Structure 1
Amino acid sequence: MSLFELLGGGAGALALALTLVQLAPVKINPWSAIARAVGRAVNADLEKELREIKTRLNAHIESDDRRAADGHRARILHFNNELLRGIEHTKEEFIEALADIDAYEDYFRANPDYPNNRAVLAIKNIQSSYMERLQKHDFL
């Protein structure tokens, strides 16, 4: 006699199978599903907003950096204009002008699309004047 016959046919086999295999209860919580959906929607909105803020912040940083480079260039051109007019300067004033040149050239190297042709000759003149003053020891 087989186990199938002992258990009384198909009904017994089904009862045996159900006792051997435990089925996990399925928990359905509609509130957690709603909370997950709302969380995903809020996160998507926040991510979009953060991307927009980052884009705007980067534009402000670029604008500020360009404005600073324009200021360096203006001081370089002004200092060179004074040299061309024969106005004498102290060694410290030359060092400040050279610091402006360094900052201006750093920006230009990092931003090759920035127009540099306005200050190239002024920079060369300031540097050569500085070298000449160093050799002659005749700063103001």
Structure 2
Amino acid sequence: QYIFNIGFWFSIFAVFYIYLFIQYFKDGNKVWLYIFFNIWMFLIFNPIVHYFFAQTALEQFYSIPITIFFTIFYPLEIVAHSFYISSYFDDYLKIFLENKIYIYEVYTPLYFFILYILFSFFSIWSKKSFFVLNILMIGFNFYLYISGYI
């Protein structure tokens, strides 16, 4: 039953890309890696996600700093709710949630999806394949976020 679950496959790919990141970036500065990891995971996953879900918006980039900020914000919100002072954060959340978002659709073409998956797997053994994978990632993301405004 799980073999046909898209969330299951996204989880497998996420873990795969985490290990790929560790394999090639493990020797970097830890603070830089913490920030770069969130950016890279966001970008590396887009070609796979957009093969299944086409909805795209520039506001998706908010998820990068939000992911980093969430590790601080969430415990603060719990404490704030415990002491009934959570209303101080509500105005900032309302500004964010009331923002109008321009959404457009871009699917990952099948040929690119297959090529991307192949280079992802080849990257396990080859640094050159990993380099090509990152070029494909950058190219796709450029295409993804520019195409809605052309």
Task: Give the TM bin, normalised by the shorter chain.
Answer: under 0.3
Q: Based on CA coordinates, which of the two structures has the bigger radius of gyration?
A: 1
Q: Which has the higher contact order (CA 8 A, sep 6+)?
A: 2
TM-score normalised to structure 2 length: 0.23
TM-score normalised to structure 1 length: 0.24
